[in-house]
């Protein structure tokens, strides 16, 4: 079984500041993928970034980076230079190999990020 914990239900951040969204996970799978998604009020889940458990380097995608600390089982999302459009729910998710790669994503409860001007 897999578990994702996001301990920050909500965050307020000033525009242009960097923000770190916390995510810890638990799994017994030897190989797994970690994902971050953004969900604006419209409801669509937008894929942001992916980190494989065997990747040596932290993933980066534009203003998004993933601070992956395997020993601590954490996969924090860092957004640099936050913008008003970053206001949304953010979900950390993972998928393991035990289901042959066909497991569904396990999601955390999410963090509601609000960027203030």
Partner 1 sequence: KAGVTQTPRYLIKTRGQQVTLSCSPISGHRSVSWYQQTPGQGLQFLFEYFSETQRNKGNFPGRFSGRQFSNSRSEMNVSTLELGDSALYLCASRVAAGEGTEAFFGQGTRLTVV
Cα 75 to Cα 67: distance, rounded to the nearest angstrom? 6
Give the residue with the Cβ less far from partner 1, 74 or 98: 98
Total residues contacting partner 1 by CB under 8 A comes to: 31
Residue 86 CB, shortest distance to partner 1, in Å, is: 18
Binding residues among 68-107 for partner 1 as defined by CB under 8 A:
91, 93, 95-97, 99-107
Compute the distance between CA of residue 11 and CA of residue 107 in angstroms, rounded to an integer: 19
Residue from the set 11, 50, 67, 73 that interacts with partner 1 by CB under 8 A:
50
Give the integer Cα–Cα distance in Å for 52 and 43: 26
């Amino acid at each position: 079984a897999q578990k994702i914990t996001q301990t920050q239900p909500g965050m307020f951040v000033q525009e242009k500041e960097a923000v770190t969204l916390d995510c810890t996970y638990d799994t017994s799978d030897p190989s797994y993928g970690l994902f971050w998604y953004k969900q604006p009020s419209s409801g669509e889940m937008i894929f942001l970034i992916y980190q494989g458990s065997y990747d040596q380097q932290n993933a980066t995608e534009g203003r998004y980076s993933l601070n992956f600390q395997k020993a601590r089982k954490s996969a924090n999302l860092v957004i640099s230079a936050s913008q008003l459009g970053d206001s949304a729910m953010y979900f950390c998710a993972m998928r393991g190999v035990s289901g042959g790669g066909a497991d569904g994503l396990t999601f955390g409860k999410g963090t509601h990020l609000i960027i203030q001007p």
